Structure 1
Amino acid sequence: MTSFPEALKISLVEPINDAVDAVNNRFGDAFHDGAVWLLRHVLVPFESALRALPWWLVLAAVFLLSLHATRRWPHAIGYTACVLLVGCLGLWDQLLQTLALVIVATLIAVALALPLGILSARSDGLRRLLMPLLDVMQTMPSFVYLVPVLMLFGLGKVPAILATIIYATPPLIRLTDLGIRQVSAELTEAALSFGATRWQLLIGVQLPLARPSIMAGLNQTIMMALGMVVVASMIGARGLGEDVLEGIQTVNIGRGLQAGIAIVILAIVMDRITQGYGRDRRQRKAQTDKAST
């Protein structure tokens, strides 16, 4: 009497498998062609260009970005030293592979999330449709995202990127929508009364004022993309996540922990840079003036 009644049990396995098979049979070639295009024309060229850069030039770029974002010399030097430490640990190539994966996934996520966030801010109906879907996407375990992309695209870096995009897109959509909706109605009405078009209103008023919220969403998207690095390595993402995975599989605690430290360093540096750019101009100017005194 304690077991669940057999008559009430249902299974979603067969319907889901049948649906995936139907999608694969109908659109499998298109998925394959899209994956090949993304790999050949976006990821591989970008990763190759990144890995072809001299190590000192990469460090110089990190230093300049950090300095421009934070306006503090000690912070810029510290973040650059952290990235240098990853190279000293012998993980430079893996770092660049992971960085390429995160940057490509983030750029595609931004290209998808910004328009959706803007449209959601302008349409209550679309917002009501999107929010439950985003709730599901954010609460679903990250491992689950590997199942559909693996069945549709197979192993490799492209399915890893697609799983990362799905996992990392919701925060940017939410915070873009929130930032635009929080723009003062008086400012919007004033801009429209002066003859601004909807496009001019968006570009000149709403997006600049929503910038802190949008940058916070971008920050979360980058952090969630980095959070998928280890998970995505299970389907061939390579990079630092692969070292962590191999360390777990071979019970090589040192190797896994070393790669984990490198991921944490990359996350901290990217987090601080995006947070710096998330401040408005007055805050950044005040930061610069404070640092110079």
Structure 2
Amino acid sequence: MSDTSWLTEFPEMGRSELRAIRKTLDGAYRDFSREYGDLIESLFDPLLTFLVWFEKLLINTPWFIVLGVCTALVYLASRSWKLSLGCLVSLLLIGYFGMWENTMRTLSIITVCTLLAILLGIPIGIAMARSDRVQATVTPLLDVMQTMPAFVYLIPVVMLLGIGKIPGLIAVIIYAIPPVIRLTNLGIRLVDKEVLEAATAFGASRRQRLFGVQLPLAMPTIMAGINQTIMMALSMVVIASMIGVKGLGQPVLKSITNQYFTLGLLNGFAIVALAILFDRASQAYAKRTQAHLGDMKHG
């Protein structure tokens, strides 16, 4: 009879090796966070200062001014009186139900996260569109960012930077940035080759082709990416509240732990109202951009 004892020994050996590897990696990351955590945190100080200033600005500005500015911005983006009226009524109801301050906190971090995602995402998307090698390198990273549960990448961020606004902001950006990168890349790659050849024939440089032809024609697709980034950032509000980000997410989290049905429902509706306003305004702006480009082509 053959000796099969190695079949039982092998899994045990595998487990012990895995434990050793895990301990080594955990120790290395712990040492790294202790050694460089403060230095890395100090690099984010200007961003934290801006975030705190912007939050205080929204909270301390009289409500009717914020209401007027938000309604005006929605109208400028959408050119729709119905959507502007919806924005006005939604914000009035949010104030009436005592959720104004938390809504302003959420609005501040979502605005900053979206702006940072756009500033980082569009250049990466352009680089991917220009180089197949960059696309082959970045695409797997985007796949990991989109498929990995948010709680998993909260762990290294919190270990490195602790609890607070900046870890929450980083977590939201990691979760929300892939759509704007992917759709910027896609939009530029879908630009008609004949249009680019015509621009080259007229003596346009690579830079002129990018800013004068590719980006304007890709703008509707890029706007769709920005729209998705905003939606994903808003969906992270509750998870970000678990690591100290104040806003509409914290009352929802409190309602889950203490079974406060009405509190969770009202704050959930406030998040939904913000999501709908952002979604409709950005979609309307994208459609207007597309229509304007169509008029230019036919003209």
TM-score by length of 2: 0.89
Q: Is the 8 A contact 1:145 1:167 kept in 2?
A: no
> Structure 1 residues 170, 15: CA separation in 2 closer, same or farther (over 3 Å shift)?
farther
Q: How many residues were matched structurally?
A: 284
> Structure 1 residues 207, 8: CA separation in 2 closer, same or farther (over 3 Å shift)?
same
> Structure 1 residues 199, 46: CA separation in 2 closer, same or farther (over 3 Å shift)?
same
Aligned position for 2:29: 20
Amino acid corresponding to residue 7 of structure 1 in structure 2: M
Aligned Cα root-mean-square deviation (Å): 2.0
Identity of aligned residues (%): 48
What is the Cα deviation at residue 282 of structure 1? 5.7
Q: Is the 8 A contact 1:120 1:126 kept in 2?
A: yes
Query: Per-residue CA shift, 1:112-156, capped at 9, x if unaligned?
Result: 111100000000000001111100100011111211110010011
Amino acid corresponding to residue 276 of structure 2 in structure 1: I
Give the Cα separation in 1 of the matches to 2:277 and 2:161. 32
Aligned position for 1:110: 118
Query: Per-residue CA shift, 1:233-271, capped at 9, x if unaligned?
Result: 011001100111111111111111111111111111111
Aligned residue for 2:245, secondary structure, equals coil
Aligned residue for 1:236, secondary structure, equals coil
> Structure 1 residues 50, 284: CA separation in 2 closer, same or farther (over 3 Å shift)?
farther
Is 1:80 aligned to 2:83, yes or no?
A: no
Q: Is the 8 A contact 2:168 2:244 kept in 1?
A: yes
> Structure 1 residues 285, 170: CA separation in 2 closer, same or farther (over 3 Å shift)?
closer
Q: Is the 8 A contact 2:83 2:277 kept in 1?
A: no
Give the Cα separation in 2 of the matches to 1:15 and 1:189. 55
Report the more deviating stretch, 17-26 or 70-79.
Answer: 17-26
TM-score by length of 1: 0.91
From 260, 263, 266, give the equivalent of 1:258: 266
Larger Rg: 2
Q: Is the 8 A contact 1:244 1:260 kept in 2?
A: yes
> Structure 1 residues 228, 71: CA separation in 2 closer, same or farther (over 3 Å shift)?
same
Unaligned 5+ segments in structure 2 are 1-6, 295-299
Q: Is the 8 A contact 1:137 1:170 kept in 2?
A: yes
Aligned position for 1:6: 12
Paired residues for 1:140-159 under 5 Å: 140-159=148-167
Is 1:238 aligned to 2:246, yes or no?
A: yes
Aligned position for 2:43: 34
Amino acid corresponding to residue 251 of structure 2 in structure 1: D
Give the Cα separation in 2 of the matches to 1:223 and 1:271. 7
Aligned position for 1:290: none
Give the Cα separation in 2 of the matches to 1:108 and 1:68. 22
Query: Per-residue CA shift, 1:175-208, capped at 9, x if unaligned?
Result: 0000000001111111111111111111111111
Q: Is the 8 A contact 1:150 1:159 kept in 2?
A: yes
Q: Is the 8 A contact 2:220 2:290 kept in 1?
A: no
Q: Is the 8 A contact 1:70 1:284 kept in 2?
A: no
Q: Is the 8 A contact 1:244 1:255 kept in 2?
A: yes
> Structure 1 residues 69, 285: CA separation in 2 closer, same or farther (over 3 Å shift)?
farther
Amino acid corresponding to residue 222 of structure 1 in structure 2: I
Query: Per-residue CA shift, 1:44-86, capped at 9, x if unaligned?
Result: 1111112222211222222222222222212221222112211
Q: Is the 8 A contact 1:51 1:96 kept in 2?
A: yes
From 262, 283, 291, give the equivalent of 1:283: 291
Unaligned 5+ segments in structure 1 are 287-293
Q: Is the 8 A contact 1:138 1:170 kept in 2?
A: yes
Is 1:65 aligned to 2:73, yes or no?
A: yes
What is the Cα deviation at residue 21 of structure 1? 2.1
> Structure 1 residues 224, 16: CA separation in 2 closer, same or farther (over 3 Å shift)?
farther
Give the Cα separation in 2 of the matches to 1:244 and 1:192. 55
Give the Cα separation in 2 of the matches to 1:285 and 1:8. 60
